């Protein structure tokens, strides 16, 4: 297997030190170990942001740090729930502390432009807190030149690409857990890990507009998939990457070059 020039884990420390001199954008993929139905692996939320970040990094001359593999607790309305076997989750404080620590370590070694590249919807607010605390840490050390961008790759999917994915109507990103988009992209990047014969094609979950704790798991489909994945295809997955990769690259170049108010 060839060594990647964008994956930090593949570099020697000599390579890393030299590349950091150019002030590259450094991507930190953050995912989860979470059930994704009978057809996708538990690592789906790690593999997708890692693969997309690597393609974006190639376009912007960036680097991709080893991923944070574990994420915040799966929520019933967006991930099926933390009760599914194999879903291994972190408490919020642990995730915040871990990401904050990694960001501070990257900055300590000279990195100044960091992307928290999220692959798990439930992580997002805790990544905001990690970024805020890391920037506070750096301000206390007298560093004011650090910029952090947080994004979820799915948020870059345009209405045009949505129509390719969902010609019969878009359910919602919450209900899309392990359904058409994620299954399609996995069929494109890692078809060897998709059990195509087990792709579910049932009705979407129907949740009430409130939450009860302990959560009532009855509305959750027994597969853990919140809407049908039956129309997924590798071609749709390729269409997603063809659109989001250049769009994310363009957005990051613009955002990092823009002055901070």
Report pLDDT for 258. 76
Report pLDDT for 3. 66
Of the candidates 167, 90, 179, 107, the one whose C-alpha atom is nearest the C-alpha of residue 142 is 107
Report pLDDT for 4. 77
Long-range contacts of 196-200 (CB under 8 A, 24+ apart): 196/39, 198/37, 198/38, 198/39, 199/37, 199/39, 199/229, 199/230, 199/232, 200/37, 200/38, 200/39, 200/225, 200/228, 200/229, 200/230
Q: Residue 237: CB partners within 8 Å, gap ≥ 6?
A: 183, 184, 185, 186, 187, 188, 189
Q: Is the peptide bond before 214 cis (omega within 30 degrees of 0)?
A: yes
pTM of the model: 0.96
Q: Is 177 helix (H, G, I), strand (E, B) or coil?
A: coil
The residues of the chain scoring below 70 in pLDDT are: 1-3, 260-261
Quickly tell me which residue has 């501070």 as its tokens: 104
For residues 186 and 50, the answer to whether their CB atoms sit within 8 Å is: no
Q: Residue 105 corresponds to which tokens in the numbers above?
A: 């370590």
Report pLDDT for 2. 66
Residues marked active site are found at 34, 36, 45, 120, 122, 177, 182
Which domains does the chain possess?
8-209+216-257 (3.40.50.10310)
Of the candidates 80, 18, 99, the one whose C-alpha atom is nearest the C-alpha of residue 222 is 80
- pLDDT tens, 148-173? 999 999 999 999 999 999 999 999 99
- What is the rounded CA–CA span in Å between residue 213 and residue 138? 38
């Amino acid at each position: 297997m060839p060594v990647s020039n964008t994956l930090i884990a593949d570099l020697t420390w000599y390579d890393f030190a030299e590349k950091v001199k150019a002030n590259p954008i450094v991507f930190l993929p953050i995912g989860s170990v979470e059930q994704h139905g009978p057809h996708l692996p538990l690592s789906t939320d790690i593999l997708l942001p890692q693969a997309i970040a690597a393609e974006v990094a190639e376009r912007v001359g960036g680097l991709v740090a080893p991923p944070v593999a574990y994420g915040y607790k799966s929520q019933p309305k967006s991930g099926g729930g933390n009760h599914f076997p194999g879903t291994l989750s972190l408490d919020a404080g642990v995730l915040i502390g871990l990401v904050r620590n990694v960001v501070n370590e990257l900055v300590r070694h000279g990195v100044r432009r960091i992307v928290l590249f999220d692959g798990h919807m439930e992580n997002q607010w805790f990544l905001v807190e990690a970024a805020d605390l890391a920037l506070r840490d750096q301000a206390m050390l007298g560093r004011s030149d650090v910029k952090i961008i947080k994004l979820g790759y799915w948020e870059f999917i345009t209405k045009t690409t949505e129509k390719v994915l969902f010609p019969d109507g878009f359910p919602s990103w919450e209900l899309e857990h392990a359904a058409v988009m994620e299954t399609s992209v996995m069929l494109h990047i890692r078809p060897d890990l998709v059990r195509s014969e087990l792709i579910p094609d049932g009705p979407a979950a129907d949740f009430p507009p409130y939450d009860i704790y302990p959560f009532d798991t009855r509305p959750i489909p027994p597969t853990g998939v919140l809407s049908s994945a039956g129309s997924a295809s590798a071609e749709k997955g390729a269409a997603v990457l063809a659109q989001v990769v250049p769009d994310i690259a363009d957005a990051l170049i613009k955002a990092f070059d823009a002055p901070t108010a």
